[in-house]
């Protein structure tokens, strides 16, 4: 269910967190759905179980998952992670924006892009 890239140099628990977040945001994993157990995922992906435990714990801390005592981890209700989604987008957006500013794109142009999107005509320039 999760494919990790062995050539990616990011720590495995971070890769795992990103994958799970993606699946939650894309609603492939739905609210209250149970995630595979640490044991099973470790066996399936051949990853240190402590690494998976860590990824799950971090996701719980960030509000994407909740744990029911000893029953495992579940996807948290939408309201809990809606803000997170916006925050996530913000960082991605800022990254692109920084590049755009370097290239000399003005505030007006960006505002214009915004209007275009709102009107539903997605033009690239």
Partner 1 sequence: MIEAKSVTKKFHNETAVRNINITVKRGSIYGLLGSNGAGKTTLLKMMAGIYRPETGTISIEDVPVFENVFIKKKVCYIPDTLYFFPQNTIAQMAEYYQNIYSEWDASRFNTLKRVFQIDTDRKIHKLSKGMQRQVAFWLALSCMPSVLILDEPIDGLDPVMRQKIKNVLFQDVADREMTVIISSHNLREIEDICDHIGIMHQGELIVEKELDDLKADTHKIQVAFKSELQEKHIVDQLEVVHQEKRGSVSVLIVKGEESNIKRIVRSEKPFVFDILPLTLEEMFIYEMGEVGYEIENILL
59 near partner 1, judged by CB under 8 A = no
- Give the C-alpha separation, 37 to 83, whole Å: 27
Site mask for partner 1 (CB under 8 A), range 10-29, x = bound? xxxxx---------------
Q: How far is the CB of 91 from partner 1 (least distance, A)?
A: 11
Q: What are the residues facing 34 on neighbouring strands?
A: 74
Position among 46, 69, 91, 124 found at the interface with partner 1 (CB under 8 A): 46
Q: How far is the CB of 43 from partner 1 (least distance, A)?
A: 6
Give the interface with partner 1 as residue ranges (CB under 8 A).
6, 9-14, 38-39, 42-43, 46-51, 54
């Amino acid at each position: 269910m999760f494919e990790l890239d062995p050539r990616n140099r990011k720590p495995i628990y971070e890769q795992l967190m990103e994958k799970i977040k993606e699946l939650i945001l894309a609603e492939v994993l739905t609210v209250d759905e149970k995630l595979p157990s640490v044991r099973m995922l470790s066996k399936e992906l051949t990853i240190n179980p402590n690494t998976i435990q860590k990824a799950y714990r971090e996701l719980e801390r960030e509000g994407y998952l909740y744990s029911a005592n000893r029953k495992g981890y579940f996807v948290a209700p939408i309201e809990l992670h809606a803000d997170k989604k916006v925050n996530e987008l913000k960082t991605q957006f800022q990254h692109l924006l920084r590049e755009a500013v370097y290239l000399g794109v003005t505030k007006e142009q960006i505002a214009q892009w915004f209007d275009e999107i709102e009107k539903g005509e997605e033009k690239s320039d």
